[in-house]
Structure formats: structure tokens, C-alpha cells
A and B are shown apart, each in its own frame.
Chain A
Amino acid sequence: MNRINQKLQKNDKLLSIYFTAGYPNLNDTSSIIKNLESSGVDMIEIGLPFSDPLADGPTIQQSSSQALKNGMTTEILFSQLKNIRKNVNIPLLIMGYFNPIMQYGVEDFCIKCAEVGIDGLIIPDLPVDVYHKKYQEIFKKYSLVNVFLITPQTSEERIRFIDSISQGFIYMVSSASTTGAQNSFGESQKNYFEKIAKMNLRSPQIIGFGISNKETFKLATQYAKGAIIGSAFVKFLNKNSVGNIKNFINSIC
């Protein structure tokens, strides 16, 4: 069984962390991953930087352009991940935009992911229907879980469809927004979390976008299987060394 599904079966209140590969320094990737695992994080999303990250707010835009300036490429990322499975056991996903993956070749990209031990992909601008018609078989061949997003505007019918073709978890975007840290959630978000929880979907949900601290993490995990922190962690790395990652994780849970 895929590490993502194992994790989803075993634990609740999962903490998943996103970081941009190649930021703050080109070669921080494996030490960030190791420090995250030893700090007790449940799952990691490795951001493959893109020049034009449409769904991201300023923090991740900035980390992506810095990573590219540092020289990050798809090939370098795979070489940095080459031996990662010697030390790291938690699920690892790559989150990236479709164009760099398309240029690498979708199947070649999947082969490489399988080779280095990536368990899943999150590609925000690869639409569900295109994936379903064109790429699903390739992803399955290499045992890669593709994760889809839903938002407060996603219709119930479409959520049911997404649920029916998801193999891992559903990525629940907390509000209509690009990525970015929020300090608290309002009523409308709570209503949305509640509505989804009541739908009894077969795929567990993990909430992302706007999770930044103990409070937002706690609230999100009352309704969902877990929560994802991205921008707040990237901001932390801007000011703190990789060796201090434990402090950030301890402040959340």
C-alpha cells in the first residue's frame, strides 16, 4: 500500500508541511525533509518551483523565484531526492505546476518520482477532467496518488465526482484564495468545513491554504483528517535556520 494511504489509515490530526525546493538555499532540500520528519511531521509536500505560480500568494511566489535564481531545476530536485528513502519514511508528495512536468515528459516525470520514492503529486493547474482522461493510467502505473483540490465554490456534484476518482486524500482549500497565511478562520469557513465533513466522503480530507498557527491547525483538524501549512513555514525558513525547524513544528502541535 502507498505510504499516503497507510498514513491516512493510522493517524488523525495529520500535520503536512509544504516547502519550496531550492529555498532558502539550493541544497537545503534533503536536510529540510529530514528535520521535518524528526520533528514529528506526518507528511511533506515538496514544491517544484515555477516561474508563474498562478495559485500562490506573495510568500510562495517569492520563494519560488528565489529557488529558480538559486538554480533549481527538475533534474536537480530528483538528484537531491535520490537517496532520500534511505533515511525518510513519511509520505512525500511533489507539488508543482503542469508546465515544468509537461516539459520533463509526464511519464518520465512519473518514472523518476517512483524511482526516488515520491508517493503522490499535487498539480493545481492540471484539471480533474484532463487528468482523468489523459494521465490517470500513467500515474497508476507508477503507483502515484494524484491529489485534487476542492474549494468553497466547488459544487456538491463535482465534489462527489472528485471523491470517486481520488485515491489518497482530497485537498480542501480553506477559502477562495491563493496560498497565504491567515491568523484565524471565520464563520463561513467553519460552515464550509462542517458541510464537507457531513458529506461522508470516502476520501479523507486535508485542509490547506491559510493554516498558519496552533489555532488554525486545531480548528481545521477538528473537521478534517489533517492540515497543511505552507506559507507560514516558508516565512519561518526565511528568518530561521533549517536546524531550528523543530521550534516551528512544536509551536503548532
Chain B
Amino acid sequence: MKNSYQADKNGYYGEFGGAFVPEMLYPNIEKLKQEYIKIMQEVSFQKEFQQLLKDYVGRPSPLYYAKRLSEKYKTKIYLKREDLNHTGAHKINNTIGQILIAKRLGKKRIIAETGAGQHGVATATVCALTGIECIVYMGEIDIARQAPNVARMKMLGATVIPATSGSKTLKDATNEAIRDWINKPEDTFYIIGSVVGPHPYPDMVARFQSVISEEMKRQLKEKVGTENPNYIIACVGGGSNAAGAFFHYLENEKVKLIAVEAAGKGINSGESAATSLLGKEGVIHGSRTLLMQTNDGQITEPYSISAGLDYPGVGPQHAHLFKSGRAKFLNATDEEAMQAGLELCKLEGIIPAIESAHALAALDKIEFKKDDIVVVNLSGRGDKDLDTYISYFNY
């Protein structure tokens, strides 16, 4: 069956997905659902999008053969260098796409949620680029622990509003952004930062991130003579970098897809963010998916050393990939990720984002063959995480 892992016309991936939004948001979501594919297929849209990805973001991002890392794990490891993108992560692929959609829908005001601040920075960046007002919601606790990104957003002209409700982190910032949208539905566009939220967001964000696997195919063909690696490994917070890295390989079952979640202090420690293992089916932020919750259906607060993986849910496509077995879900603890991050510094001279370090930590958990081709999606660079690295390793 073709396309069985992609969204159907109502945004369902198997039993997951859909648009569980209050009536106040129905007109906006419905309009976007009607328009997004049409807009994305317009020649003028594609031209503008591709041009910006090339000249502004710096794409294509290199596919780098990591020789010393390959020696260590006795296989062939390639890194997809999303860390070299403008603003330092894959997040910009999506915000460029969404701002161009917002412009075509005639919206005058952009809102976004952010956890670590990476998506907030990527959104503030494209708003500066297009001259559109930008409001970023960020949990009060995250504002305190991600000061440099808060400053970046402000320098880029965005207004950062603290989310003071609930647990004061990413899920609450998302709630506040949704509430803002309910209050100003007509002039505002909500740029969501991952493959989460009501349909059509998960599909739209995955399409914008699909440039990652599109380039990967071409680059592998050129370097090793085949488009298809044996493994693709990516970390999963909401799941957007993984969705982009998997996109063009979903129907090719020979390519093993590995999603790595944050285990925090350990799966059974009570301080974890491994949603596929700890979550149950439910509805979060307008999507039916797997989420961490109490028996009574109250959403619980996840934990990870990496703020970008600290989300209690996972995108509906990933819930489906997990349940169907198409992707294998592994997890890495704080300690494993930090060591894997440091290892990449020492072996390859690359300081990875701690999110991406979770993907690297999976290298130690899989038995590779000598000739396997393994692509790790290096979703971001570690500059934003220096404080965490410094205090963790006492540099």
C-alpha cells in the first residue's frame, strides 16, 4: 500500500492525528487544511522557498562521512549536518515554510511557542526577514534557564511572553499560544515548531522538513552509489527532525528507521521524556497521539536534560510509526547523551546540540555490520548548550 505512513485527508495516521480543536479555532484550521497543499505546490511559493533555503539557510546541508566515529563503531557513519543551518538547527526549514504560508494567507501577526528557544529563535528570524510582528510564548521556567536564546529573540525584534500557567514549560507555552490564537483568530498565524498540534500542522511541518531526506537521497547516491542507507537515526522531541529525515524512506521498509527519545534520569525514574514507552493514547494540543499522563488523563510534566526533547507528547505520525513497528524507538539517558555529545567533540571536532547527542547515543545500542551505511541526523549545534556541557563536565 502506497503512502500508508503519511496523513490521510483528515490528518490521520492510522488511529492517530486529527484536529481536536475548540470551535473557536475551527475556521482557521479548516482554512489552512484547504489551502496548505495548494499553496505549497504553487510555482512562486516553491521558487521563494527553495531560494531562501539555499541563500539564507545555506542548504543543502552537507552529508559528512564521520571517519573516526565510524572506526569506533565499526561501521560507516554519515552525519546529516542540520547543525550548519542558519540559526543552528533544522527548525529554520519549517519556519521559512510557514512564514511564506502566513504571508500568502494575508496574516499580519505571528505567534509561536518555544521550549529551549530554538524554534522561538527560528521564528523570530523569519519574522525579521519578512517584517512581520512576532510574539513568542515561553514557559517562565524555560526563560530562566535559556537566557541567551531569550536575548536572541529580543534582538531579532520578537516579544517574548512568559507562560505562567500550569508547569510553566513547553506544554504551557503551547497552551498560551493556542489561547492567543483563540483570542485573535483573524489576523494571526500560529507557527508550530514540531510535527504536533491539530491537522494539518503535523503533515505541513513534516513536508517542510522533508528536504532533509530529499537531500540525503541525492547525497548518498553521489557518495556511495545508492540512495538507501541501512539505518537512519534521529532524536525525537515532538518529532520534526526525525519526520524530515524519515520522510522519503517511509515506504522503503529496507531502510531501518530509529527514533531516539530522551530517557532523562532513566525510564523508571519518574524523570523521563520517553513518550512511546511511558505514554498512553490521548489528546494533547489538538492531536490524538501518545502522551504522558496520569491514569485520570491529566498531562504530566516530562524531564530531560535537553530542553528540546522535554515534551509530554509525540507527533501523531511517530505514534503510528511506533505502533506499526515501522520505526524502532530507542532511548538515551542524560548521561548517555552527554557522553555521546562529548565523544563527537573529541572524535570529529563537532559540538552537537544535546538533543542531537541523544541520536548519537543510539550508536552504542545497535549491532551494525561493517558495511552498513548509517545516517545520523545531526539536528543542531551545541552552542546553545554550552552552559549545560560546562556544568555537567566541569569544564
Docked CA distance A139–B184 (Å):
33
Q: A68-B298, A99-B284, A102-B283 are in contact. Are A51 and B166 (CB under 8 A)?
A: yes
Given the complex, which residues of A lie within 8 Å of B300, measured CB to CB?
Answer: 51
* B298 and A130 contact, CB distance less than 8 A: no
Chain A interface (Cβ < 8 Å from any Cβ of B): 50-58, 61, 65, 68, 73-75, 97-104, 124-128, 130, 148-151, 153-155, 158, 173, 176-178
Given the complex, which residues of A lie within 8 Å of B281, measured CB to CB?
Answer: 102
Docked CA distance A68–B297 (Å):
11
Given the complex, which residues of A lie within 8 Å of B282, measured CB to CB?
Answer: 99, 102-103
- Tell me how far the C-beta of A63 lies from the nearest C-beta in chain B, rounded to whole angstroms: 12
Apart from A54-B182, A55-B22, A100-B296, list 4 A-B contacts with CB within 8 A: A75-B296, A100-B298, A102-B297, A177-B182
Given the complex, which residues of B lie within 8 Å of A177, measured CB to CB?
Answer: 24, 182-183
Docked CA distance A174–B358 (Å):
47
* B295 and A61 contact, CB distance less than 8 A: no
B229-285, CB < 8 A from A: 280-285
Given the complex, which residues of B lie within 8 Å of A151, measured CB to CB?
Answer: 23-24
Interface 1/0 per residue, B283-312 and A, CB below 8 Å: 111100000010111111000000000000
Of the candidates A65, A75, A154, the one whose C-beta lies within 8 Å of that of B166 is A65
- Tell me how far the C-beta of B289 lies from the nearest C-beta in chain A, rounded to whole angstroms: 11
* A99 and B299 contact, CB distance less than 8 A: yes
* B24 and A173 contact, CB distance less than 8 A: yes
- Is the CB of B14 closer than 8 A to any CB of chain A? no
* B179 and A54 contact, CB distance less than 8 A: yes
Given the complex, which residues of A lie within 8 Å of B27, measured CB to CB?
Answer: 153-155
Given the complex, which residues of B lie within 8 Å of A99, measured CB to CB?
Answer: 282-284, 293, 297, 299
* A55 and B296 contact, CB distance less than 8 A: no
Of the candidates B19, B24, B183, B299, the one whose C-beta lies within 8 Å of that of A52 is B299
- Tell me how far the C-beta of B162 lies from the nearest C-beta in chain A, rounded to whole angstroms: 13
Docked CA distance A154–B23 (Å):
8
Of the candidates B175, B178, B182, B293, the one whose C-beta lies within 8 Å of that of A176 is B182
Most A CB within 10 A of own CB, among B23, B27, B281, B282: B23
Of the candidates B22, B26, B298, the one whose C-beta lies within 8 Å of that of A51 is B298
Most A CB within 10 A of own CB, among B175, B179, B282: B179
* B182 and A149 contact, CB distance less than 8 A: no
Can you name the residue of chain B whose Cβ is closest to the Cβ of A173?
B24
